[in-house]
Structure 1
Amino acid sequence: MNEDIQEAVKVIKSGGTFLYPTDTIWGIGCDATNSKAVDKIYKIKERSKLSRFIVLVDSPAKILDYVEEIPDILWDLLKSLDSPTTIIYPKAKKLPKNVISKDGSIAIRIVKHEFCQRLIHILNKPIISTSANFSSEPSPVVFKDISEELKSKVDYIVKTGRDKMNKSKGSTIIKIKMNGEFEIIRP
């Protein structure tokens, strides 16, 4: 795993894209603070730039680097989450325009997957996470379900976790509204 992380860090720091396992499904990622790298993922996925990606961080404290505020009630929730949960925060900061939604919001998940945790910690930056598929195609649950064409378009494919069966689906998504109320977007 260490060699995989070192190689992924090199690719990410050079503005590249990579395929990697997460705590949900296989994803395509890059440095979330690098707008040119993010544009590469839009191109790879053939995705409209009106749809935004999820940003992964390795701890609750890192969220404060990228959002204006976190309601007090949310801190307890963040610490107690057992399943992968993405939270859409209303006021993003310090991220490129092509990562932030038109309304100024940002979707962030604290990733629990060991590979992702270590990678983000070493990189000391958030990474983009989006399913490893072309837009409008089904999300691959296991590595072997990722199309060869998509694999050929990324700069690096992580070796860790290729043989593991992941029966997970996408994360739960909760949106925080400007008034502090919550809305469940995807259970």
Structure 2
Amino acid sequence: MTSGEFVSNCTADALTTAAQLVKDGGLVAFPTETVYGLGADATNAAAVARIYQAKGRPADHPLIVHIHSMQAIGEWADEIPDYAIALARNFWPGPMTLVLKRSILAEDFVTGGQPTVGLRVPDHVVALALLSAFEKIGGKGIAAPSANRFGHVSPTTADAVREELANYLAPTDQILDGGSSSVGVESTIIDCTSTAPRILRPGAITTEMIEEVTGLKVLTEATDIRVSGSLENHYAPSATVELNRTPIATEGFIALAEFETPESVIRLASPKTVEEFARVIYSALREADKKGLKTVVVQEPTGNGLALAIRDRLLRASKGR
């Protein structure tokens, strides 16, 4: 297998070809600002089934439908509250998924059998160009979970996708190379089926941002809505991930640059800010596996906002696969 197999540069012709491939039932991995997604036509049951097969993903685990603009919400969702429209206007395109009551267009095979659907407009030029090209040939939306095996570390580069999925893709499937993801952790998922919003998965869009835009207090009560990345163990490398202790010799170490590296410890990443921490955390965990490390120690960033999302992912990673 060559390093370039499946991978395509994002020329106009490549995007047109990729859109037609999706329309014809194929799979296309594409970059977003959060992580890379593995996309299929969200209205094609057989194509969506191939996503589940390639990822080894449980059939009742719902997918997020990516759309080109907020104007498409009405096709996929019913009973859209005003606060959901306010969120879409303020944060789309962006790292936010809205969970809404589904329309008849959103079928069980994409919603995991639930009466809700997750929608997102990604903030990445390649993703938006692909969605636009898909829309022009009659496509309604592209279902796309992260482009990795289920429970593994999410990919933030095209090479990471290829390393994860090359053995599970058909020869005609494609990976669009749009560089490294700029956010690095998955979107905030917001339940919009109640009288006020509720965060189902933390991300770059924070509680404070949601409350400021909607004028509503974010609900904290539990819900039985299933969403991506909500299992106790997820986002895990082969190495064991341990949190907030001093690493010892031969262990990997990820921490903000202010933390010193003990002698004989292998420093995997030294981000200077929480934002950089989010961008590099997954690639650093992948690097640990490439180096054959048995244990990675991560000093978690403190605070709210994006730091909260990072801690959520690391806690799940620490539970293993």
TM surpasses 0.5: yes
SS across alignment from 2:143: strand
Give the whole-Å Cα distance in 1 for the aligned partners of 2:195 and 2:115.
15
Hey, what does 1:136 align to over in structure 2? Answer: 151
The 1:126–1:68 alpha-carbon spacing in structure 2 relative to 1, beyond 3 Å, is same
Match of 1:112 among 98, 101, 123: 123
CA contact (8 A) 1:53 1:129 kept: yes
Equivalent AA in structure 2 for residue 183 of structure 1: R
Confirm whether residue 160 of structure 1 aligns to residue 177 of structure 2: yes
Give the whole-Å Cα distance in 1 for the aligned partners of 2:24 and 2:154.
27
TM-score, scaled to structure 1 = 0.90
SS across alignment from 1:22: coil
Equivalent AA in structure 2 for residue 52 of structure 1: P
Q: How does 1:1-187 map to 2 (within 5 A)?
A: 1-81=11-91, 83-124=94-135, 125-148=140-163, 150-154=165-169, 155-161=172-178, 163-164=179-180, 166-177=182-193, 179-187=194-202
Alpha-carbon deviation of 1:90? 2.4
CA contact (8 A) 1:4 1:158 kept: no
CA contact (8 A) 1:151 1:157 kept: no
Aligned Cα root-mean-square deviation (Å): 1.8
Alpha-carbon deviation of 1:167? 4.4
Give the whole-Å Cα distance in 1 for the aligned partners of 2:154 and 2:126.
20
Greater Cα radius of gyration, structure 1 or 2: 2
CA contact (8 A) 1:92 1:100 kept: no
Alpha-carbon deviation of 1:101? 3.5
Once the two structures are superposed, what CA deviation does each residue of 1:107-153 show, in whole Å capped at 9, x if it has no partner? 11112211221221221120011111111111112222235351243
Give the whole-Å Cα distance in 2 for the aligned partners of 1:185 and 1:54.
13
Give the whole-Å Cα distance in 2 for the aligned partners of 1:136 and 1:48.
11
Bigger RCO (CA 8 Å, 6+ sep): 1
The 1:18–1:99 alpha-carbon spacing in structure 2 relative to 1, beyond 3 Å, is same
Which structure 2 segments of 5+ residues have no match?
Answer: 1-10, 203-321
Alpha-carbon deviation of 1:169? 0.8
Alpha-carbon deviation of 1:26? 1.0
SS across alignment from 1:119: helix
